[in-house]
Structure 1
Amino acid sequence: MTVSQNAVSVLNPVLLEKIDKLRDWNVGHHVPLPQLVVVGDQSSGKSSLLESLSGIPFPKDQNLCTRYATQITSKRESEDGVQISITPGPHASDEHKDQLKGFHRHLSSGSEFRKQFTDILKKANEKMGLRTDLATDIGAVFSEDVLKIEISGPREDYLTIIDVPGIFRNVVQGTTKDDMTLVRGMVERYIKDDRTIILAVLPSNVDIATQEILTLAEDYDKIGERTLGVLTKPDLVLEPSAQAAVRNLVLGNKRPLSLGYFLVRNRGADGGVEELSELDREFQKQQWVDLPRDRVGIAALKDQLKSLLVDITKREFPKLIKDINEQSKECKKELDSLGPPRQHEREQRIFLSQIAGNFQKRVREALDAHYNADPVFKQDEFRLITHVVNITDVFSADFRETAHSRHFEDLRLLKPNVTDEKVDGSPPDCNCKENSAGLMIDHLRVLLEKAKVDDIAPGEYSELGDIIIPLEEISKPGDNFTTWMNDVYLQSRGLDLGTFEPHLLSMAFTEQSRKWGDMTKTYMRRIIIALHRFIAAALRSVCLEDQARSHLWSAILEELLKRYKVAMAQASLLIEVEQRKQPYTLNPQFNQAWSKATGYRITELLRPTAKKESKQYGVVQYMVNLDDIAKAAEGKRNVEKVQEDIHDILQAYYSLATERFIDNVFHLAVDHCLLHGPDSPLQVFNQDWVISLEPEQLERIVGETKSAKGRRSALMKKLNELSHALKILKS
């Protein structure tokens, strides 16, 4: 995986400089960047290795050892300089972030930086709130903050290395088990991504099987394709068997890694100022002389690291652009969900007015059954007018079938229907239209059951409990109308000569229509539930921010309930008018129906004297004597005649009143009060309502919370960083 030095120097400025610029823009916090991370156990030689690679004299003082991640970046530029800053950790508080902003150092040369490095580390530790003395308990031992060191100069190469604290397994002075967990979590966070090359630092004089860092690296790099072993302290390996074990690692004969092992010697704690070339003389000794020259020494390791960083950058470059694009889309999507900024009254009113306009657009589309206007109408609760029509059709059918207390006599059954009687005596054809209508109503009942218009969720019940009535089973009509009517008449009649008092008809109608109230309220309940669910769903679709939608819902709920109650009151009024007033109608169909009933009864009386006269067009014809017509009703008693009249008048009137009532309930209580009228609940939330709100009401409904403002600011910052990242990568 090694490329020539010339190739590296050509590729570095093109790719590695872009990656460094991404780090400058904080992009590494949003998407993983190609990087080299140095990991190892404590006392593995990490600090000495970093000093050899970067030229930075990391202190060996226990109080200044690696206690946070350090990012060291070198850049080739015309001027010397060193920039030092601190990036807050992922869980830093706003106060801590503000404190770290004040830490920034600029030095004009590397030599000046190296002289001041120990003092700079002490000040950085203080800013991070770390202990100055591990023997005390004032301050933290480790931090998730990152110390950034950027070295530039004409002799620098493009290389970024991240150092993290060393793993330790035993609590020592000043540390706790929580510190062990914190450090391990930091190491895992840095090595888990596929774009990270893991530099596992392993002391040569310790059995490799005891080094936890290799086991940890295997957890995230199963086949070892991005783990490079760096063996340190070869001068401390004195036993021939131990030396052979180290050679086997470097030669790939033992616990192989795809990137292999390097053997290096670094300056020790008391190593003075030996040059790297002097340190590399260690590898001229007999036990190491047979090792490949490109696998020993700092220079070889440094070249390999450059090559690896270039290779992983080339490999991941297209994926990196893709990841940043996806992050940008997610960021924009979340910003859209927050809506436009609304810190001031004008912004708040515009924001809420736009939501109201979109809500009213949903209302118009739902009432017009314009379901292709938006994908949201694929959801059942948005199909408002369809639910209303289906509920109304079922109500109308149920009302005609079961709203009367007792079945009227079917006068058509007093005789066979002579006009339909066939010569061969076969029954008349079935009424296919009635069967088809019945099947449709049954299908609508299934649809209403699926829509759960009778199932009230706890949240809905808490809002609508004062309006909707509990469902009660509606009894079927009885078959004892004649007996009941006889009892009513006999218990209420006065002195009469074959007539009856008007109040008797009122009493009969009130009894016959006593189920109207419960059935109508059940119908209104279903309509209101469907409407309430539509309003809630429509608000969810146009106001994506949960908190703003919750405040808006609270602001309009009281008025919604008020208008639902108006509709229920209108339905109750219609019930009251029908049941309590004296039966009366100007509809000419009343006389037609009454006359038809009278005709049925006379026909039945004439049937015994009627004669079959002839057959025409296959239908039997009957002939009666005109004198028999005048005598037809002579045999009836006054009581029987009055009861028949009451029945026929009540039946004719009830039929007309039923159709009138069904129409009135729909038009006056449902359509006018709930759907299309100016005071419909659908008109509670509109742009006029928004304009009428006081500033404090606006602030309460859609004013941004502190957390929302913070989230918006963070998202805008992130989007700005990602946008710059894309420009850098595509330049």
Structure 2
Amino acid sequence: MADPLAPKLGHLASAALLRKIDELREKSVGQHVPLPQLVVVGDQSSGKSSLLESLTTIPFPRNVELCTRYATQITSRRDSESRVDITIIPGPRAPEEHKKHLAAYHPTILSTDNFRDKFPQILNEANFRMGIRTDTSSGVGTVFSEDILKIELCGPDQDYLTVIDVPGIFRNPTEGITTKNDIQLVQNMVKEYIKNDRTIILAVLPSNVDIATQEILTLAEDYDKAGERTLGVLTKPDLVTEQSAQAAVCNLVLGKRRPLTLGYYVVRSRGADDDNFSNTDAEKMFQDAPWNKLPSSRLGVLALKARLTELLSEITRKEFPKLRKEVSKQLSDCQTELEALGAARETERDQRLFLSALARHFQALVDAALSAHYSSDAIFEEMLGLRLITCVVNLTEMFNYNFQQKGHYRSFEDPGTDSTMEVVRVRTVAHRADTHAKEGTSFFADIDLDEFTDLGEVVSRDCHIDDPQGGILDWTEQLYLRSRGTDLGTFSGAILSSAFKEQSSKWAPMTKAYISQIIVVIHRFMVIILERLCPDPHVREEIWSSIHDEVLKRYKVAMDQAMFLVSLERDKRPYTVNHYFNDNLQIARGHRMANMLKPNSRPEIKQDSRGLDYCSTNLIVDLDHVRQTTRSKGNVEQVKEEIHDILWSYYKVAQKRFIDNVYQQAVDHCLLTGPMSPLAVFTQEWVIVLEADQLEIIVGESGITKERRAALKRKIKDLETAVQILRH
């Protein structure tokens, strides 16, 4: 798609491009994006003011007390009418009142003829408008200003050129005028102008001073290390009388000393005592040795002016496409940041609307996460860990699998084979759980119970569970022998209660670990979603501070409910009306009897269709063997097996019941969908009942946020203006 700001550069003259740059600078766009520019820098005694006068015909002051205290933009352009336009561009940090005060200054000068005579008066008026101290005996006002004096010279004889003059660098303060702080202030101002890659640095250097002592070249090197955008201007050549000194200046121009890519120019300007001065007469000295040995394109104001116009056009053409893109990008970034701040929140109504909309969006994402409606927001694609109900389901299946594998203290035995009673079923469950675990690893493998320190008193970090031990029949025998009474051939219910409590001793730590993982997943979801919806850290922290205690309280309620369910199962006398218990018990007894009779069994003999005998897969046992087998079993052996079979049958029923209850009551009701879920704390209803002072604390804009919002609006306004300038 074509850039809407892209002009047809082939049909734009250099002057038209340069006018756009001046418009951008006038609209303060230069404080946001660096603009192509020529900046004149040098010491106060370098001849900078005389050079500017030669280039622009403007008589800049030469003494220290009247020297420039602010940047001055001088623009000359060709026009059919002669006129001078003078305005003041406010500095980047100027308050609105000061901007209005500066905008009111627009002196009327009909032509350039009397401008030279009026210039000292214009400077005084500009100083007054900017608040510059003009009376050396007064302490009122500032010494230097960030405002820019813009002087635009138009006329049929004007060549297009724009240069910016910045205050001259000085090393010693002037009593009553400047201070040591002003020395650093001016240096910082100079650095601010020359640091940008789109700036051509005109380093003004007096020819009669050793170049090694000129600080401006060192300063320029800091920001233009290759010397590719620094042009040296050697002034006061008429004061260089010694041949060795003249040779040193010539060597600079010829590139034999301290070379610059843009090179050096030699210019003679009007001196303090030159009343009748003309550039043409002054430059006749370049016809004499040793200056006549230098390239004529490097001598005189006219040659310098032509080169500066050329350089400014080159850098403007080169940087113009980048400038358009940079303005567009900054505008987009500012608009995005301003949108992220949300609506202004100054009144109670604004604050309640803002927080209510935030809570509504939060609950919409909660609903989507609990209903697996993940296509509703891109965040569910970006972060799989926020797929809340999927994480919970995966964790619950793993909890169920681990519970079946390790939830019992001792492994149950099959009455007939002395192996695990559910070998086939458990292997099937294990295979399915392993498959699900691999598929769901990305959802919960990174659960760190130490991720949120504020959950320290709620979650349990003891997740290690040992494998079940063996020897369960020996254990049931010992239980019986230690607790049997006078009952003939039976055992008391207390033995079964004791056996079940010991066999289920891992239930509490395994359940705590499961609930803890669910809590961490929920807490992470809330933290990330709130961070996504509310990028303002102050507001986010205040929301958390307001709901934190209630959220933790609800986590604890869920954990307490889970532990209550553990207590119900383990601390009460085993009981169930579930027919599954009797089915299991009869199956266990039947298998045990069958295994006892199997050694005395024989295959059933049958005849096929031809009358031939063959052995059937059915086994036959004689009744005498049945009677003999049942009589041969001792009382203790009979009771220990009966305890085992009843415990196994009940454990299977209680385990399934318990896992379902933990999920339904502790997880689903307490943590996910119930009215007291922690996910239901931050809601619109919660916002509605907040008092005005609470709203102000939570979402009232801080001074920093208000300042940032105002700054973004100002910048967006400037950049939108820049877009219009660059488009047309």
C-alpha change, 1:429 and 1:716, in structure 2 (3 Å) is: closer
1:328 Cα deviation from its structure 2 partner: 1.0
Aligned to 1:633: 630
State how far apart, in whole Å, the 2-side matches of 1:638 and 1:341 are. Answer: 85
- Greater Cα offset, 677-686 or 17-26: 677-686
Aligned to 1:106: 106
Q: 1:419-472: per-residue Cα shift (whole Å, max 9, x none)?
A: xxxxxxxxx999973563364377479657741x24413xx12x2122113415
State how far apart, in whole Å, the 2-side matches of 1:619 and 1:307 are. Answer: 111
Q: 1:153-180: per-residue Cα shift (whole Å, max 9, x none)?
A: 4465543322223345678878777655
Q: State the secondary structure of the residue aligned to 2:413.
A: coil
Q: 1:402-427: per-residue Cα shift (whole Å, max 9, x none)?
A: 2222233322415999xxxxxxxxxx
Asked if the contact 1:203/1:232 (under 8 Å) is kept, the reply is yes
State how far apart, in whole Å, the 1-side matches of 2:426 and 2:478 are. Answer: 36
C-alpha change, 1:510 and 1:435, in structure 2 (3 Å) is: closer
Matches within 5 A, 1:302-317: 302-317=305-320
The one of 204, 208, 220 equivalent to 2:223 is: 220
State how far apart, in whole Å, the 1-side matches of 2:439 and 2:644 are. Answer: 33
The one of 362, 376, 393 equivalent to 2:397 is: 393
Matches within 5 A, 1:375-390: 375-377=378-380, 378-390=382-394
The one of 279, 282, 295 equivalent to 1:279 is: 282
What letter is aligned with 1:149? K
Aligned to 2:411: 407
Asked if the contact 1:81/1:107 (under 8 Å) is kept, the reply is no
State how far apart, in whole Å, the 2-side matches of 1:499 and 1:518 are. Answer: 34
Aligned to 2:124: 119
State how far apart, in whole Å, the 2-side matches of 1:310 and 1:75 are. Answer: 13
Matches within 5 A, 1:168-179: 168=170
- Greater Cα offset, 465-474 or 314-323: 465-474
State how far apart, in whole Å, the 1-side matches of 2:249 and 2:371 are. Answer: 81
Asked if the contact 1:131/1:140 (under 8 Å) is kept, the reply is no
1:238 Cα deviation from its structure 2 partner: 1.3
1:230 Cα deviation from its structure 2 partner: 1.4
- 1:62 aligns to 2:64 (yes or no): yes
Q: 1:111-141: per-residue Cα shift (whole Å, max 9, x none)?
A: 564131453465367x2579947xx9x6999
Aligned to 1:510: 501
Q: State the secondary structure of the residue aligned to 1:411.
A: coil
Aligned to 2:237: 234
- Greater Cα offset, 360-369 or 229-238: 360-369
The one of 349, 353, 357 equivalent to 2:356 is: 353
Matches within 5 A, 1:155-234: 158-168=160-170, 181-234=184-237
The one of 450, 468, 477 equivalent to 1:456 is: 450
What letter is aligned with 1:297? G
Aligned to 2:370: 367
State how far apart, in whole Å, the 2-side matches of 1:267 and 1:492 are. Answer: 122
Q: State the secondary structure of the residue aligned to 1:498.
A: coil
C-alpha change, 1:334 and 1:431, in structure 2 (3 Å) is: closer
- Greater Cα offset, 702-711 or 442-451: 442-451
What letter is aligned with 2:601? A
The one of 331, 340, 352 equivalent to 2:334 is: 331
- 1:622 aligns to 2:625 (yes or no): no
What letter is aligned with 2:499? A
State how far apart, in whole Å, the 2-side matches of 1:432 and 1:585 are. Answer: 27
What letter is aligned with 1:676? T
1:640 Cα deviation from its structure 2 partner: 3.8
State how far apart, in whole Å, the 1-side matches of 2:160 and 2:335 are. Answer: 33
1:233 Cα deviation from its structure 2 partner: 0.7
Aligned to 1:687: 684
Q: State the secondary structure of the residue aligned to 2:393.
A: helix
1:524 Cα deviation from its structure 2 partner: 0.4
Matches within 5 A, 1:8-47: 11=13, 13-47=15-49
Aligned to 1:556: 547
1:722 Cα deviation from its structure 2 partner: 0.8
What letter is aligned with 2:491? F
State how far apart, in whole Å, the 2-side matches of 1:130 and 1:516 are. Answer: 87
C-alpha change, 1:252 and 1:478, in structure 2 (3 Å) is: closer
C-alpha change, 1:343 and 1:466, in structure 2 (3 Å) is: same
Asked if the contact 2:585/2:649 (under 8 Å) is kept, the reply is yes
Q: 1:324-376: per-residue Cα shift (whole Å, max 9, x none)?
A: 11111221122122122222233333333332333233223333444455443
The one of 86, 90, 93 equivalent to 1:87 is: 90
Q: State the secondary structure of the residue aligned to 2:106.
A: strand
C-alpha change, 1:607 and 1:715, in structure 2 (3 Å) is: same
What letter is aligned with 1:720? K
Aligned to 2:432: 437
- 1:542 aligns to 2:533 (yes or no): yes
State how far apart, in whole Å, the 2-side matches of 1:431 and 1:473 are. Answer: 21
Q: State the secondary structure of the residue aligned to 1:197.
A: strand
Aligned to 1:729: 726
State how far apart, in whole Å, the 1-side matches of 2:478 and 2:150 are. Answer: 105
State how far apart, in whole Å, the 2-side matches of 1:677 and 1:371 are. Answer: 21
1:382 Cα deviation from its structure 2 partner: 1.4
- Greater Cα offset, 207-216 or 327-336: 207-216
C-alpha change, 1:438 and 1:691, in structure 2 (3 Å) is: closer
What letter is aligned with 1:41? D
Matches within 5 A, 1:234-253: 234-250=237-253
> Structure 1: which 5+ runs fail to align?
1-9, 418-427
C-alpha change, 1:20 and 1:612, in structure 2 (3 Å) is: same
Cα root mean square deviation, aligned? 3.5
Q: 1:29-51: per-residue Cα shift (whole Å, max 9, x none)?
A: 01111111011234111122123
State how far apart, in whole Å, the 2-side matches of 1:144 and 1:605 are. Answer: 107
- Greater Cα offset, 288-297 or 21-30: 288-297
> Structure 2: which 5+ runs fail to align?
1-11, 110-114, 609-613
State how far apart, in whole Å, the 1-side matches of 2:727 and 2:687 are. Answer: 45
1:574 Cα deviation from its structure 2 partner: 1.3
Q: TM-score, normalised by structure 2?
A: 0.86
Q: State the secondary structure of the residue aligned to 2:632.
A: coil
State how far apart, in whole Å, the 2-side matches of 1:432 and 1:683 are. Answer: 40
1:248 Cα deviation from its structure 2 partner: 4.7
- 1:501 aligns to 2:492 (yes or no): yes
- Greater Cα offset, 222-231 or 563-572: 222-231
Asked if the contact 1:394/1:444 (under 8 Å) is kept, the reply is no
Asked if the contact 1:200/1:227 (under 8 Å) is kept, the reply is yes
State how far apart, in whole Å, the 1-side matches of 2:30 and 2:238 are. Answer: 38
Asked if the contact 2:597/2:621 (under 8 Å) is kept, the reply is yes
C-alpha change, 1:449 and 1:118, in structure 2 (3 Å) is: closer
Q: State the secondary structure of the residue aligned to 2:499.
A: helix
Asked if the contact 2:401/2:429 (under 8 Å) is kept, the reply is no
State how far apart, in whole Å, the 1-side matches of 2:698 and 2:295 are. Answer: 72
C-alpha change, 1:695 and 1:48, in structure 2 (3 Å) is: same
State how far apart, in whole Å, the 2-side matches of 1:446 and 1:226 are. Answer: 58
Asked if the contact 2:449/2:459 (under 8 Å) is kept, the reply is no
1:519 Cα deviation from its structure 2 partner: 1.2
Aligned to 2:518: 527
C-alpha change, 1:290 and 1:406, in structure 2 (3 Å) is: closer
